[in-house]
Structure 1
Amino acid sequence: MHKILFVGGGGIGGITAAHMSEKGYNVTLYDIDEQHVKKIQKDGLFIDGVKGKKTVHLNATTKLEGNFDIVFLAVKSQHTKTALENVLPYLKKDAPVVSLQNSINEELIAEKIGVDRTIGAVIGWGATNIAPGHLRQTTKGNFVIGRLDGRITPQLKEIKKMLESLTTVEITTNIMGHLWTKLIINCINAPLGAIFGVELKNMVTNKKTLPIMAALADELVRFLEYLDVKPENFENMLTVDFFKIDTLNDYKRVVMVLQTAGKQRGDLKSTMLQDIEKGRKTEIDYINGYVEKKAKKLGVATPVNGVVINMVKEIEAGKRKPSLKNADDLYKRVRIPKAWKDYDFEKDKYAEFTIFNLPL
């Protein structure tokens, strides 16, 4: 039986490892948080949330030993390099590394271990840490996995079966397209949730925050045109062109799409906001910052994204607090069309039909 190592016992890594362990896989959960690991060792890992409550007993440790056949990497993006360096001595020669992370860390992983051993993944569900030994699944969803070279191999199918211990899994030949689409979503929800200090449902129903969300979405989607990548559809339904805004009717359509998403995942709380509340550094440099680095390299201007990055860093530095009042400062720093700001979706009795203003 394969020896499986999970690096990072937070919401995504811990819950996935627990389900896999329940299915009989030989799983070791490695985390540097001693309190978290000791609680799991003593009482098991308690999981609650959208799929109910349960306690799972599994092997958890703060010290690595032995050799592992496969690694699932579930640490914050800023810890990717260090985590890889720490675990590489404990991996078998051809052991694959599956990235269960935000951002696009697959490039860095491939630099360290090679493209052939790197597996990308998009996580369509959410989770958070509540306390040592206690994780909560906040939303339901699936996995999408794939190799950077697009090949579908027996090993990839085996990883699919492992992850199906938790939820449905789709294999793709275009993992970079999926990763970029997911990154764009994260670039909107994660930093703006931290800046405004509210959940998604509050952002999509606020007349001040909606124009900023739309402006950021429009800018990021247009940036994708400069990349050598074919982005996948949002939620497997909407093309990225759905978020391009050239007219007021386009803006109305985007507002309706964002509000629909808010109804479906309204309780979604920004991972960056969660980090801020816990006094931790966010992944801003590896999410919006990743886009900014690519944009600068290509000579493409992304001013809204740049302002958003700076404001999150101001919050990290304690120079401002998450608040809806930050919308006023954002308006001073970025150009938002007056027609967008003036549009009152609450008074538009035809608003629900604007979603049919399809892009040409």
Structure 2
Amino acid sequence: MPERIIVVGGGAIGGVAAAQMTNAGHDVTVLDADHRHVASLRDPGLRFEEVDGQVSRRRLRAVADPADLTGHFDFALLTVKSLALRPAVTPLVEAGLVDTYVALGNGLVQDLVRSLVGRDRLIVGLIEWGATNLGPGHLQQTTDAPTVVGELDGSSTERLARLQRILASIAEAKTTATIASQVWTKLLLNSTFSGLGAAGGCLYRDVAADPVGREVALQLWREGYDTARALGMTLGEVFATPADQLVIRDATDHVAAEEALDRLMVRAGPTKASMLQDLQRSRPTEVDVINGGVVEAARNIGREAPLNAEITRIIHEIESGAFQAGPEAFCRLARVSANVGAR
């Protein structure tokens, strides 16, 4: 019997995933709270622009209310943002509708999902390909890159192999025994440059081009790196740049770290942080599971992450209108860094 899949969140990532899986013949249902978007997905169907420029339209099975779901699902792909996870997932858990939940969100969102569904029902994944939401029922896949999934304990399971086969209809799909470390590797990039890009109101490359922003970025990178290592994580490459090459321990490391940062910006520089996009649309950000996630993880092992804590404060102030995104954010962070160094 073919697997049934529910995609929780029909936005850019979820909608593209649902379209690709449906095109491949999988039994897919989309759950999304936006009634207008759901109506468009049903009829006339999702307008889907692929990476190669091809445009197609695909009618999807979609509902806005969990009460309208029927039957049982083998996998739930969770693509909603962290703030929407609890209200989206709780009805599914309470009704016992899903065997395995797949956390695909940003930051340390898997910790929240685990608290909602239980460790035994959780697989964690990273989506490397990109997509954008062009309007109700209109999505575009912008890049083609792998999806990586793994069991939290690193085991190779039958359900993981099944999930890999399903996800291969979207993009290249890989399994890994080190998903937690890979999550932290991605988080290191996001907590540094998504955080600073959102706080500074600029692209990643603009952070690196600002003298204060650049220095703060390297200090923030070290703070996140040291937190991850203290948790036992082995960090890999970020856009083909080994994570440890950006870590400054003393003056002799500075030149090498600067060169590594320049190499990283060749690939990552044009990125506009998703948190900055949220701020520009007056929407809440996911800072609490990105920079705030680093802070909480550090606190849980008796450490501090003062720069990540300050970014979290700054972004919440921008959300409330108490602070304006811009270079002054870098100066605030530099002052925090100076105070930490003076201890």
Taking structure 1 as the reference length, the TM-score comes to: 0.86
Matched, 1:197 2:198: no
Structure 1 residues without counterparts, runs of 5 or longer = 339-360
Contact 1:222-1:244 within 8 A present in 2 as well? no
Aligned to 1:32: 33
Matched, 1:122 2:123: no
CA distance in 2, matches of 1:324, 1:52: 37
CA distance in 2, matches of 1:328, 1:108: 32
Shift of 1:39: 2.1
Shift of 1:49: 6.5
CA distance in 2, matches of 1:40, 1:135: 10
Shift of 1:99: 0.9
SS at match of 1:27: strand
Aligned to 1:88: 93
SS at match of 1:305: helix
Shift of 1:57: 2.5
Q: Residues 159 and 316 of structure 1: is their aligned pair in 2 closer, same or farther, counting only changes over 3 Å?
A: same
Shift of 1:251: 2.5
* Cα distance per residue 1:157-206 (max 9 Å; x no partner): 11111111121112111211111111121111221111111122322233
Q: Percent identity?
A: 30
Aligned to 1:48: 49
* Cα distance per residue 1:63-117 (max 9 Å; x no partner): 2321222110111112222221022245446x11111111223233333333222
Aligned to 1:13: 14
Aligned to 2:61: 59
Shift of 1:236: 7.8
Q: Which among 185, 193, 209 is matched to residue 181 of structure 1?
A: 185
Which region of structure 1 is more displaced relative to structure 2, 270-279 or 45-54? 45-54
SS at match of 1:32: coil
Q: Which among 207, 211, 214 is matched to residue 210 of structure 1?
A: 214
Contact 1:70-1:91 within 8 A present in 2 as well? no
AA partner of residue 119 (structure 2):
V
Q: Which among 257, 262, 266 is matched to residue 263 of structure 1?
A: 266
The number of equivalent residue pairs is: 336
* Cα distance per residue 1:3-40 (max 9 Å; x no partner): 21000011211111111111111111110011221222
Contact 1:99-1:105 within 8 A present in 2 as well? yes
Shift of 1:225: 2.6
* Cα distance per residue 1:268-293 (max 9 Å; x no partner): 21010111111111111111111111
Contact 1:215-1:336 within 8 A present in 2 as well? no
Q: Residues 255 and 116 of structure 1: is their aligned pair in 2 closer, same or farther, counting only changes over 3 Å?
A: same
Shift of 1:265: 3.0
CA distance in 2, matches of 1:91, 1:265: 41
Contact 1:139-1:268 within 8 A present in 2 as well? no
Q: Residues 3 and 306 of structure 1: is their aligned pair in 2 closer, same or farther, counting only changes over 3 Å?
A: same
Contact 1:9-1:29 within 8 A present in 2 as well? yes
Shift of 1:314: 1.1
CA distance in 1, matches of 2:113, 2:169: 25
SS at match of 1:334: helix
Q: Which residues of 2 match residues 151-190 of structure 1 at below 5 A?
A: 151-190=155-194
Contact 2:241-2:260 within 8 A present in 1 as well? no
AA partner of residue 309 (structure 1):
T
AA partner of residue 122 (structure 1):
L
CA distance in 2, matches of 1:30, 1:118: 19
CA distance in 2, matches of 1:238, 1:77: 28
SS at match of 1:110: helix
SS at match of 1:156: helix
Contact 1:46-1:53 within 8 A present in 2 as well? no
SS at match of 2:217: helix
Contact 2:246-2:258 within 8 A present in 1 as well? no
Which region of structure 1 is more displaced relative to structure 2, 295-304 or 329-338? 329-338
Contact 2:212-2:334 within 8 A present in 1 as well? no
CA distance in 1, matches of 2:53, 2:226: 40
Which region of structure 1 is more displaced relative to structure 2, 137-146 or 187-196? 137-146
CA distance in 1, matches of 2:259, 2:138: 36
Q: Which residues of 2 match residues 1-360 of structure 1 at below 5 A?
A: 1-48=2-49, 50-55=51-56, 56-64=58-66, 65-66=69-70, 67-89=72-94, 91-92=96-97, 95-227=99-231, 229-235=232-238, 237-335=240-338
Contact 2:241-2:263 within 8 A present in 1 as well? no
Taking structure 2 as the reference length, the TM-score comes to: 0.90
AA partner of residue 65 (structure 2):
K
AA partner of residue 64 (structure 2):
T
Contact 1:68-1:90 within 8 A present in 2 as well? no
Which region of structure 1 is more displaced relative to structure 2, 84-93 or 129-138? 84-93
Contact 2:239-2:268 within 8 A present in 1 as well? no
